[in-house]
Homo-oligomer: A and B are copies of this chain.
């Protein structure tokens, strides 16, 4: 960055005006946006869905290898992904930021550029926020609001025995991208002259730095009359999310290792790092894919979408939750997915 404007020069309200002036309202339901005590949303005939995430520097992101623009984009993605996981359409976000005086206005502008790009892509309106100083680091609080046709939202707790367990896209790549970035950071800290070696790793790095939420899957459900019986987004790793669906629905499940979708680029990266690709998918997290269950009758509809994989099925609670490996073994699924395997 060539310029540096001290945020103190603008004052809090000048700053909010500056940061939000390029956001145009996209939804009729956004009756009143930024600039008052609260925002107003009009959702006649719809139900409102709302979620909040707190992202803290040093815990959720590392600014050493995360461009602020990407961080802004990802902030929106992480939140709208939670709205999609309810089978709802995101319509608004509210952003609260805390930052120390180490941040310049140009740095915040970069962050908001990413927020803006994501708002455009997902069709959501930034309708409010709060900015504050922090003693240390960058703190992001994002609230996302969405709407859904009454009683078509999808909970985690309503899967039924025999339902098919499905996941969108592919898994594990974000974790491998993070592993690569952390390795390059260590190398850089030890030998600052060495340039990062990210050649050929665009896919996995993109998955961690600029993930996308699965708007298309929700649209596919609507267009094909599919009502998932339960759903959750994959933010913490496949095994943790599967166990959420099982616990909340009071069921067990059967998962087939060979059915877990893993991109070829991720598989190659895993081998380079001496990691098991399946372990990365089970425990890696940050993929922001959708994990859901559908009735067996919907199998044909689901199979028509090549970006959805059927990876198992729901079983009765007494049967527990298990994964069948490619080698023909059966292990209980744990929140740290691969731990059970490591003990063998």
Known pairs A47-B31, A52-B129, A135-B136; A38 contacts B146 (CB<8 A): yes
Known pairs A86-B37, A94-B143, A148-B40; A56 contacts B132 (CB<8 A): yes
B31 engages A94 (CB within 8 Å): no
Return the contact of A153 from the options B40, B49, B54 (Cβ within 8 A): B40
A50 engages B38 (CB within 8 Å): yes
Return the contact of A130 from the options B53, B156, B233 (Cβ within 8 A): B53
Count of this chain's copies in the oligomeric assembly:
2
Question: In A8-63, which residues have CB < 8 Å from any B CB?
Answer: 13, 31-32, 35-45, 47-54, 56-60
A98 engages B56 (CB within 8 Å): yes
What string of 1s and 0s marks CB contacts (under 8 Å) between A214-233 and chain B?
00000000000000000111
A86 engages B50 (CB within 8 Å): no
Q: Quick check: is A113 within 8 A (CB to CB) of the other chain?
A: no
Return the contact of A38 from the options B41, B49, B94, B150 (Cβ within 8 A): B49
| Most chain B CB atoms below 10 A, which of A54, A60, A97, A133 | A54
Q: Quick check: is A88 within 8 A (CB to CB) of the other chain?
A: yes
B38 engages A88 (CB within 8 Å): yes
| Most chain B CB atoms below 10 A, which of A36, A98, A231 | A36
**C-alpha gap A94/B52 in the complex (Å):** 7
Known pairs A41-B47, A135-B58, A136-B136; A130 contacts B52 (CB<8 A): yes
Question: In A100-137, which residues have CB < 8 Å from any B CB?
Answer: 127-130, 132-137
Known pairs A35-B248, A96-B141, A136-B135; A130 contacts B54 (CB<8 A): yes
Q: Quick check: is A82 within 8 A (CB to CB) of the other chain?
A: yes
8 extra interface residue pairs, beta carbon distance < 8 Å, beyond A50-B94, A52-B130, A54-B98: A32-B153, A36-B86, A36-B157, A50-B50, A56-B134, A136-B136, A136-B137, A143-B143
